[in-house]
Amino acid sequence: MIFETFQNMLKNDERIQFTVTRKGDQLAVLIQPVLQGSVDDKTPETVKALRAALAMPLYVVTNPQALDADFPRSLADYAEMREDGHNDLNDVMSRIKEAGKQAKTEAAKNNQPDKPAEKSRFEEPHHQDDNTARAKPAEIAVTDKSLF
């Protein structure tokens, strides 16, 4: 049952360190998850917190009889807690990916010209009669993209 719990607890390519140490008449059992990948300064705090929760070890110090009787249940509870953490992390990562997709869609929409192209204020008049050009001062289009 213990190794079935380990198998169910671990995701693909995850690993744990399982250590048993004798301390007098007692045994100390340490189940330490080893997470893959790393986080950096750009990682959202929620992801950091969930990864920290997933990295929490199970540590029990007791006599062998108590371990025989209670450790399988403790391990199952621990595995369930880790499963909840994995589900929460997957949910957060899905929301982050979805937000990224939406941001890309919005950026693409904002980069598409939805207005007619503005005339450059530096364009020269096209084939105007010299008298018309002198009589009418040049108009300069000032827009929100103008320097002035």
Q: What is the pLDDT of residue 117?
A: 57
CB 22 within 8 A of CB 64: no
In a domain, 45, yes or no: yes
Regions of the chain short of the pLDDT cut 70: 113-148
Q: What is the pLDDT of residue 41?
A: 81
Domain count, the chain: 1
In a domain, 141, yes or no: no
Q: What is the pLDDT of residue 78?
A: 94
Q: What is the pLDDT of residue 59?
A: 97
Range of the domain at 58: 2-111
Q: What is the pLDDT of residue 39?
A: 77
Q: What is the pLDDT of residue 148?
A: 40
Q: What is the pLDDT of residue 146?
A: 45
In a domain, 125, yes or no: no
